[in-house]
Structure 1
Amino acid sequence: MSNILALDTSTENCSAALSVNGEILVREFESPREHTKRILPMVDSLLSEAGIKLKDLDALAFGRGPGSFTGVRIGTGIAQGLAFGADLPMLPISTLAAMAQGANRLHNATDVLPAIDARMGEIYVAQYKLNAAGVMTLVDKEMVITADELVANFNKPDQAFYTLGTGWATYEQQLAVLNVAKLTACEGIQFPTSHDMLAIAAADFANGKAVAVEDAMPVYVRDTVTWKKLPGRG
Structure 2
Amino acid sequence: MKKEVLIVGAGPSGLATAACLNMFSIPNIILEKEDCSASLWRKRAYDRLKLHLAKQFCELPHMPYPSTFPTFIPKDQFIQYLDNYQARFKPNIVYCTVVDSANYDKYKGTWSIMACDKVTGEVKEYTAKFLVVATGENDEGMIPDISGLKTFSGEVVHSSFYKSGAAYTGKNVLVVGSGNSGMEIAYDLSNFGAKTAITIQSPVTRFTLKHALH
Normalised by the length of structure 2, the TM-score is 0.32
In proportion to residue count, which structure has more strand?
A: 1
In proportion to residue count, which structure has more helix?
A: 1
Higher relative contact order (CA 8 A, sep 6+): 1
Structure with max Cα Rg:
2
